[in-house]
Amino acid sequence: MYELNTKKNGWKKNIFMMIQVCVITLCMTGLANAHFTMLFPGKDMDVTPEDYIAEVGDTKTIWIIWGHPYEHILFDMTSVPEVGVKSPTGTLTKLTPSEITVDGKIAYQVSFIVDDIGDWIVYAEYEDEGEALIDYVKAIIHCGEEAWMGWDAELGQNSEILPFTRPYGLEEGFVFTGKAAYKRNSMADADVEIEMYHTKEAGEKAVEEAEEKYSYDPPMMFTRVTKTNDNGEFAYTLDEPGIWFIGAYGPEENGLTQRGVLIVPVLKAFPEKSVSTETGDSQEIEGIKGSLKSLEDKVVSLGSDVTEQTPESNSGLVYAAIGVALLALILGIHAATKK
């Protein structure tokens, strides 16, 4: 009987361990959504919104990297991406990726010449078998003053985000709007993930703070989520300056989830508050405080004069009135200081 119970207990332990493994695997699968295919102009990881701007004649080199943008965690790319560029006039050109190493991880790069004003759309298709995912990602390289041509062009990718809001010239706090499509058809009720890129140092700091402050679910602060409506449309506020990744999840095809990704650079608020404006505010506050102090002195002087000319029976009321006036002045000074 004891041997039988021991065997039963052993089976129970094994089953419990198997359940734990399954739960952990499911959790890891859920967190894998933070992976994005990143298209970065330039030859370093300190990417800024200005890197997505070009002048006629520039050669743009694009790094293609696989990883977690928010946490700045990179992974080897397990297949060669298909890459191309669409010119402002609509010409599609295939680009040949060459393998490079970024932070010790396998990545790829392509280059092309910006020979016309307008918006150049760099696009890539990357399949990661380990994540059971295909990314159809695109980024806009803008060239030329008021040459806002081509940013909303449809490429016909299997899964694609079509922007309603022009994806450059955006300030922090702007609302980005767009539409998720699968094989040119609107994707209703689709999950859309939004994540901002950090450099390594900034990413590590942000993760540390999130894990400390939101220990119950730190990744909720890394990857934001919204849904499309019945027409495949969505909106989201990009509240910080930097490089944002927006990914809309389509259905599975041959066991691989089809996801459309758009990269959106966001600038700092414009116009920025200048030093001269701040100095002017300080001078204004000091002026208010000086005026209030002068008024306070006059009230005290007036109180002395009134006291000398007022019978003792009314002196208490006079002091009370002066006290109220002084209190009002003190509150006024405090409010001006806090301004």
Q: Compute the distance between CA of residue 194 and CA of residue 261 in angstroms, rounded to an integer.
A: 10
Q: Which CATH superfamily hosts domain 22-267?
A: Macroglobulin (MG2) domain (2.60.40.1930)
Q: Compute the distance between CA of residue 140 and CA of residue 249 in angstroms, rounded to an integer.
A: 20
**Cα Rg of the chain (Å, integer):** 31
Q: At residue 27, what are phi and psi to the nearest 5 degrees? A: -65, -45
pLDDT averaged per 10 residues in sequence order, the chain, 339 residues = 45 42 37 78 93 97 98 97 97 98 97 98 97 97 97 96 98 98 98 97 96 96 97 98 98 97 97 61 59 60 56 54 59 56
Beta bridge partners of 84: 94, 123
The model's pTM:
0.74
Query: Tens of pLDDT along 234-272?
Result: 999 999 999 999 999 999 999 999 999 999 999 999 998
